[in-house]
Amino acid sequence: MGLHAEPRRRVVGLEERATLQRGLGVPVESVDPAGIEGLQVDDVLGAVVCREDGVADPSAVTWELVSRAAEAGVDVREGVDARELERDVLVIAAGAASPVLWPELPVRPLCRQLVDVGPVGGLPDDLPMVLEAETGFHFRRAGDCLRLAMNEPAPRWTDREEVDEALVEDWRDRVAYRYPPAAGAPVARAWAGLYDMTPDAHPIIGWVGDGVYAACGFSGHGFMQSPAVGKAVAEELLDGESSFDLGPYRLERFAGGAVFPEELIL
């Protein structure tokens, strides 16, 4: 469940986005944020929530898929260079490392981080993810902790997975304001990882060379998009055509300037 809280000047835009989402079948509803126990909402005049939002563990899901594939007879190998294996098709789906396998891919790494603070006593079982859409700061429950994240003021274009301690302290101050019960909560964990960014923050899906297919450059949204992408890629590779139009995600769009920059993102 996600709660989007907005200051006065963004209320109209909030409702416009909610209307768009409802039109696409997303069950978004307007709510009174004062109903969320412990949340500081004196400066919030509008909020919406989708109660069907969920949370999943990417690593756990990945290992479960690998395990099931192996049980079904797939030859799973680790620590080998796939380019040296006998194959009909090489699928490049290595995230930020994809250009190492295929240098022509316009993908570069962007370092982002997450911070868990806690334990925080008395966290409501129904505490939604809270997003300040104007600042990009957001947090959600993670056990007895709160997991903090935010768009960073200066993008870190690097392959070094390093935590910025100044951002950690800034986020702790932000959560102390928005959710006072978390004030003073210690840092339980802070870690960094890499987004595989493309020039327009949309993925590259399709053939990029003779016998080489790419599914990368998801720019931070790969796990969320993976069910649909997996189905579409499997259809195209096995049947020659996907039931979903993958045309906008081809590599060739960058040569022709047909980019469509991402909007309304975290």
pLDDT above 90 (res 9): no
**153 backbone dihedrals φ, ψ, rounded to 5°:** -65, -30
Peptide bond between residue 103 and the one before it cis (omega within 30 degrees of 0): no
Rounded Cα distance, 247 and 258, in Å = 11
Which residue, 197, 218, 241, sits at the end of a domain?
A: 197
Q: Give yes or no: residues 92 and 37 share one domain.
A: no
Tell me, yes or no, whether 66 lies in a domain: no
* Sheet architecture: strand order including 212-216: 90-92, 212-216, 204-209
The beta strands (E) that lie in 51-186 are given as 90-92, 108-117, 129-132, 138-142, 145-149
What residue type is assigned to position 103 of the chain? P
Q: Give yes or no: residues 117 and 8 share one domain.
A: yes
User: Cα 159 to chain center, whole Å?
Assistant: 18
Residue span of the structural domain in which 28 resides:
2-53+109-197
Instruction: State pLDDT tens for residues 93-115.
Output: 999 999 999 999 999 999 999 99
Region of 97 on the Ramachandran plot (φ > 0 left; ψ -120 to 50 alpha; else beta): alpha
Asked whether 195 and 240 are in contact (CB, 8 A), the reply is no
Instruction: State pLDDT tens for residues 50-66.
Output: 999 888 999 999 999 99
Q: Give yes or no: residues 85 and 124 share one domain.
A: no
Q: Give yes or no: residues 113 and 45 share one domain.
A: yes
DSSP state at residue 121: T
Q: Give yes or no: residues 41 and 146 share one domain.
A: yes
Predicted TM-score of the model (pTM): 0.89
